[in-house]
Structure 1
Amino acid sequence: MADVSRLPAALVAHWDWQRHAACRDMDLEIFFHPDGERDPSRAQRVARAKAICAGCPVMAACRSWAHQVEEPYGIWGGEGEDERRALLRRRRSAHPVPAA
């Protein structure tokens, strides 16, 4: 089962930005990789998704959301999975959790 403990409360204010997203009603396969996808197909799909994000009026809110919930999959706010993972590693190394 998914860990939803990091998710904010279900308030309209937390989700309203999505109504204005450039990707709304688009095929999700652009933003989430299919099983077995490899380069150069992956690089082309990621570039296409990031190009859509670049013109999105809510790109900053989308990216912030992905950081807040530590979204592990897909392109969010113009960032890919590897970029978010690297950011999360940097954050955790800068602020290590004390051992219990």
Structure 2
Amino acid sequence: MPTQTALGVLRGRPVPMLRALARGGWKERGTCRQTDPELWFADTSRRTKARAASICASCPVRRPCLAWALVFDEEFGVWGGLDAAERFPLQRRLTTGEPLATVLAAAMAAPVITPTSPQAA
């Protein structure tokens, strides 16, 4: 039996955000475009991931960036401030039918770990 993906759950539903994500114009406004691309896909320390997440925290397109990663099952990198392991529980929520807007709202309300946070050590 194939694994259900977030996109599979959302397919066929009138979700305006999916249309906006597909257009991709949000990517041009990302704060990440002003930094080294390696930062977002670095497979290194928690400090590096925390630095990427802290840049995402004030990004004007954090929400659509995270939505993209969740809906299209991005396997690698930091998207919307979260790495793949942090996104996994959110993807699971989508595959059980929870609305994308609800999942995103919960993710946006969670604190972002920065390089100076105790969790980032």
TM-score, length basis structure 2: 0.57
CA distance in 1, matches of 2:21, 2:59: 20
1:60 and 2:63 matched: yes
Query: Relative contact order (C-alpha < 8 Å, sep 6+): which is higher?
Result: 2
Displacement of 1:24 in angstroms is 0.7
The gaps in structure 1 that reach 5 residues or longer are: 1-5, 96-100
Tell me the number of residue pairs that the alignment of Structure 1 and Structure 2 aligns. Answer: 79
Question: Which whole-Å deviations, capped at 9, do the CAs of 1:7-55 have from their partners, x for residues lacking one?
Answer: xxxx996210011000014211111124xx3xxxx11101100010001
The gaps in structure 2 that reach 5 residues or longer are: 1-6, 8-19, 98-121
CA distance in 2, matches of 1:84, 1:30: 17
Alignment-mate amino acid for residue 65 of structure 2: C
Report percent identity of matched pairs: 37
CA distance in 2, matches of 1:27, 1:81: 19
Q: Which has the larger radius of gyration?
A: 1
Which of the pair is proportionally richer in helix?
2
2:37 maps to what in 1?
A: 28
1:17 and 2:26 matched: yes
CA distance in 2, matches of 1:65, 1:79: 12
TM-score, length basis structure 1: 0.67
Across the aligned residues of Structure 1 and Structure 2, the Cα RMSD in angstroms comes to 2.3
